[in-house]
Amino acid sequence: MTIAIREATPDDIDAIHGFILALAAYEKLSHAVRVDRATLDRHLFGPRPMAEVLIAERGAVAVGFALFFHNFSTFEGRPGIYLEDLFVSPEARGSGAGKALLVRLAQIALARDCARLEWSVLDWNTPAIDFYRAIGAQPMDEWTLQRLDGNALVALAET
């Protein structure tokens, strides 16, 4: 059965939320999930969407998703796409759904004059790393991701 990729709609909130929970479980980060359906709906489909979602379907069944948003390269002077999450349900892995999601993201990036498509991967996730190498992705070894959140974010904002 073929894989179809489409833009998510508000009717997909339950599926998106389910994929996020499944991804968190896979990454051993279920304890870090705080998002609920209402928050997703507001930030994905509200008056000022902060991210976009693609849904991978096999038949009429959602089997994966990609959540992404734009960033901007000052060196390139052009936008980019940051892929926050890519997840394919275990029963659909190997079906081409992950690659189909990335192909569609690459098409969107080119159509929007983006300079790059970027994402992070956990260093222990060898199946994902091998897949990314197979499609031509390269690690950014000289860069280290930095994060400011929680109390540290509040403290800085209040300085």
Residues labelled catalytic: 132
> Do residues 82 and 115 lie in contact, with contact meaning Cβ atoms separated by under 8 Å?
no
Measured at the CA of 60, the angle between CA 107 and CA 40, to 5 degrees, comes to 65
Question: CA-to-CA distance for 9 and 13, rounded, in angstroms?
Answer: 8
30 Cα distance to chain centroid: 17
